[in-house]
Amino acid sequence: MTDKLVTIAEIEKACDALAGKVVRTPTANSVSLSEMTGLPVFLKLEHRQTTGSFKLRGATNALSQLSVAEKQRGVVAASTGNHGRALAYAAHLEDVHAIICMSRLVPQNKVDEIRRLGAEIRIIGKSQDDAQEEVDRLVRESGLTMVPPFDNASIIAGQGTLGLEIIDDVPDVDTVLVPVSGGGLASGVAAAVKAKRSAAKIVGISMDRGAAMRASLDAGKPVLVEESESLADSLGGGIGIDNHFTFAMVRDLLDDVILLSEDEIAAGMAHAYMQEREIIEGAAAVGIGALLAGKIKAKGPVVAILSGRNVDMEQHRRIVCADINERAEPCPS
């Protein structure tokens, strides 16, 4: 493993590549969370991005870096859903053939949307690592160009543009709460925010079911983990034993990585709906969930990134209704 870092210059260059192709999402004050914590709390509403998640930033930037020949051969990626959707969308705009490889753990609503965008679907095995093996085979045997979901400089730089927007909107931010899976978003946001405000803290948050980055940090090197079903399904998957970028960047730039239970994730989703009037998926709710659980210690303004909205709506309704039933209120129909 060779440690590499993505620079602020690369992130700023990505801003130019993304201009007019992705939405500059708003950062909104949360009255309820600010009152609860006694601190200014803001929500970065990245779930309002065109494809429903932050992944469009990285996929669009990565695609912009490919040669004409690479695009003509087609692109391929492993995904837990949102990267595949983003790449399918970006590839469709440029008339590039895309194959998305996913495991059987990826929710059907995400698979269906990727197929609707015109990408070819491959369902392989029970883990992100199984899906990646199919990607490697297609690259080797068919000459396709791989666009990784996280461990890639162009991907990380694209995601990092979100961090620059946070600094623009909340220049005195004390703590940024970022969902962590493979680490592409966390690495990019941390690199951008700390380049502009070195005193800011970046706290990564994941689920306590197979959190590969946290397990790897604890081991001091990338390790394999067993994947399990979770409300935060987008945070599943390994980080790659031969990780080149994100392990080192998360290790060096994040101040902490904390884990949430399924109940804490569900509480974050319910709060987002009932108090913030936002529909988000489990992975996007971990920042709110961590605040509600009292797991965040901050001294100034906090920004929680709501990273995606691509949730199965029946699942979402069950979670919201369960929260309402605890308070003996009528459930929305």
Task: Read off the pLDDT of residues 196-213 as tens digits, 9 standing for 90 and up.
Answer: 999 999 999 999 999 999
CB 292 within 8 A of CB 264: yes
Reported pTM: 0.93
**Strands, E, within 152-274: which ranges?**
175-179, 201-207, 256-260
Task: Check residue 228 and give its pLDDT.
Answer: 87
**What residues does 176 pair with on adjacent strands?**
202, 303
Architecture per CATH, 75-143: 3-Layer(aba) Sandwich (3.40)
Top-confidence residue, 324 or 204: 204
CB 55 within 8 A of CB 181: no
pLDDT at 325 over 90: no
Task: Check residue 33 and give its pLDDT.
Answer: 98
**CATH assignment of 8-53+152-320, given 3.40.50.1100, 3.20.20.80, 3.40.50.300, 3.40.50.1400?**
3.40.50.1100
- pLDDT tens per residue across span 166-225: 999 999 999 999 999 999 999 999 999 999 999 999 999 999 999 999 999 999 999 999
Top-confidence residue, 51 or 330: 51
The segment(s) of the chain belonging to CATH 3.40.50.1100 are: 8-53+152-320, 75-143
Task: Check residue 327 and give its pLDDT.
Answer: 64
Q: What percent of the chain has pLDDT over 70?
A: 97
pLDDT at 333 over 80: no
Task: Check residue 1 and give its pLDDT.
Answer: 45
pLDDT band at 127 (very low <50, low <70, confident <90, very high): confident
Cα separations in angstroms, 157 against 33, 55, 154, 271:
30, 11, 5, 31
